Amino acid sequence: MSGQKLITERKRTHRCGTLRAEHIGQEVVVMGWVQTYRDLGGAVFIDLRDRTGLVQVVFDAGVDEAIHAAADKVRNEWVIGVVGKVRSRGTNVNSKMPTGEIEILGAEIEIFNKAETPPFAIDDDVDTAEEKRLSHRYLDLRRPKIQQNLMLRSRLNHVVRRTLHELDFLELETPFMVKYTPGGARNFLVPSRLNPGNFYALAESPQLYKQLFMMAGFDRYFQITKCFRDEDLRQDRQPEFTQIDLEMSFADMDDVHQVMEKVIGNMFQEGIGVSLPAKFPKMSYDEAMRRFGSDKPDLRFGLEHVVLTEVVKAHPNGGLPLFEQAVAQGGMVKAMVVPAAHQLSRTEVDKLEPEAKGVGALGLGRAKIAEGGSWTQSPFAKTVSDGLRQAINEATGAKDGDIVLFQFGPAKLVHTVMNHLRLLLGKKLNLIPANQWAILWVVEFPLFEHDEKTNTYAAAHHPFTSPRPEDVDRLTTDPGACRAKAYDLVLNGNEIAGGSVRIHDPNVQQKVFQALGISPEEQRAKFGFLLDALAYGAPPHAGIAGGMDRISMLLTGATSLRDVIPFPKTQRGQDLMTSAPTPVSDRQLEELFIKSTPPKA
């Protein structure tokens, strides 16, 4: 009853979850793991599991005493093979199982392997601590839901490859071990034994290499590839992650958008049967910040922001000195209306204040609109002038019973806090509809970000991003006002792709470097090879990189990246199964000419 005969001679004929009424009468060979066994004395029922699902096998003592005795010993998670005839369950159909119309009458059983009792049940319903799941990831990966996630991801990979091949893209590879360049995300470093004291960096992205492919004439490149960033982890951030990376020559922004719309559209259609619009709507960065305080707005619900800066300016001495002060200092004032219908209580509003403070706010201004448009439950109620109050009511559209939340101060902080509050209330008030997909391009990003402390500019995307043609002259006069030919793809409030048109004109590139304060020596040291390549005949080119993990997460309905990555790291970047990273021996370090000086415990 045990051995390997089913493997060497009989071979598997079907996968468990695929059997249906049409197979009735056939003798089948199935193999898998024991999900559950139900021993009724004279009959043993076993639900056998493989990646396609479950099928019930019955071992009947009345039919075959010996096989029943063998099946009687089987336990959960044992790996077995079964030969038997598919038969109807008659009146005992289980409508909850896709295979519930049929069962296999076991005629032969082979036990490939016994199993220890698993530390947690292999079941989607079991709410096991993440720590336990990750330390026994090979068991966690047996759970049907995560298997379905990874099977969907496999299909998505296939769809991406097929779509891009159809569009004449070449799948080309780039190195993981690359030159270290400062700026941007922290790099993981790899010591070079052959070059003592020198290090490679693990690639943050294939960015420079894919541009070099364009300069080499490959015209259209793509790759589904790992990227590495040594930054802190989040629910939607892992230190190694997968990008759908592509680049195309003789292309402008719209060409990249069309390709990506096709790729994402096919992923939705073939992955989960959802049709997205052929073209995705566009929104400018400025509009996104103004209306939502975020460059990745979730358009599935309202609670839009209203900028009141101009309203405050138009009502000098309006009785809200804090608002006026913020405006006078170059800041902004924003409001958000929570309609009366949501019945947000005073206590609930009070609870928002610590939330706002948690993301940097000094406080949370609020007012409840009473009959006739007056304000109550508000620190501003007594001082605000009738004129300013009415103007704010009008600008925000706030009506009787509505609650208005305010923030004022530096624009960046106001946006951050109001965005946080909007997302928080969206969840709290159940405003986010299920099964809805809000996708859009966010375009016209600033080319540079200004650093207040050092009064310098940094590349908002990366230093090879092309400014809009009409902004090229401003590179030297007013860098802060330059807009980039850069774009992000946003789905339900998640950034799922980002890219840009690249600079192919060495003169423009020089101006950008100047604006960034990167000296010619520094340019050579960091990007010499790319500048050389630009000088040898670079085609106009543009590209984008999509976050495969995040896209998979959204399409599977998972709430964490860890549910679509087979072997993820914890928040501290550890692999609980292998316990990586670990110390290494002094001898290994010596060989690499490295000294390690971890802080003492």
Partner RNA sequence: GGGGUCGUAGUUCAGUUGGUUAGAAUGCCGGCCUGUCACGCCGGAGGUCGCGAGUUCGAGUCUCGUCGGCCCCGCCA
CA distance 375 to 369: 5
Nearest distance from residue 345's CB to RNA, in Å? 21
In the block, which residue shows the tokens 């004279």?
Answer: 42
CB of 321: closest distance to RNA in angstroms? 27
CB of residue 396 to RNA, shortest distance in Å: 25
Residue 147 is inside which H or E element, if any?
A: helix 144-166
Q: Provide, for the chain, the percentages of residues in helix, strand and coil under a 3-state DSSP scheme, each rounded to the nearest 5.
A: 35, 25, 40
| Smallest gap from residue 339 Cβ to RNA (A) | 26
Dihedral class, residue 14 (left if φ above 0, else alpha if ψ from -120 to 50, else beta): beta
Report CA 373 to chain centroid distance, whole Å.
43
Closest approach of RNA to the CB of residue 15, in Å? 18
Residue 7, amino acid: I
453 token code pair: 């402390």
Query: In this complex, which beta carbon is closest to RNA, that of residue 104 or of residue 398?
Result: 104
Measured from the CB atom, the residue of 73 and 399 that comes closer to RNA is 73
Closer residue to RNA (CB): 142 or 562: 562
Q: Where are the beta strands (DSSP E) in 325-383?
A: 332-338, 365-369, 375-376
Q: Tell me the pairing of strands 456-459 and 448-451.
A: antiparallel
Beta-bridge partner residues of 271: none
DSSP per residue, 255-302: HHHHHHHHHHHHHHHHHH--PPPSS--EEEHHHHHHHHSSSS--TTS-
Q: How many residues are recorded in the chain?
A: 601
Smallest separation (angstroms) from RNA to the CB of 545: 9
Burial class (CB in 10 A: 0-12, 13-18, 19+), 489: buried
d(CA 285, CA 445): 5
Taking the complex as a whole, how short is the minimal distance between the CB of residue 250 and RNA, in angstroms? 23
Q: Which is nearer to RNA, 296 or 368 (CB)?
A: 296
User: Could you tell me the CA-to-CA distances from 566 to 125, 142, 226, 373, 580 in Å, in that order?
Assistant: 19, 11, 14, 56, 15
Q: Which is nearer to RNA, 230 or 270 (CB)?
A: 230
Residue with Cβ nearer RNA (369 or 486): 486
* Shortest separation between residue 100's beta carbon and RNA, angstroms: 7
Cβ-proximal residues to 531 (8 Å cutoff; 6+ apart), any chain: 506, 509, 523, 524
Helix (H, G, I), strand (E, B) or coil at 48: strand
Structure tokens at 321: 């000195």
Choice between 97 and 172, CB closer to RNA: 97
Nearest-approach distance from CB 138 to RNA, in angstroms: 15
Place of tokens 């997968």: 242
For RNA, the closer of residues 1 and 314 by Cβ is 1
CB of 455 to RNA, least distance (A): 16
Residue number, 13 or 76, with CB nearest to RNA: 76
Which CB, 133 or 368, lies closer to RNA?
Answer: 133
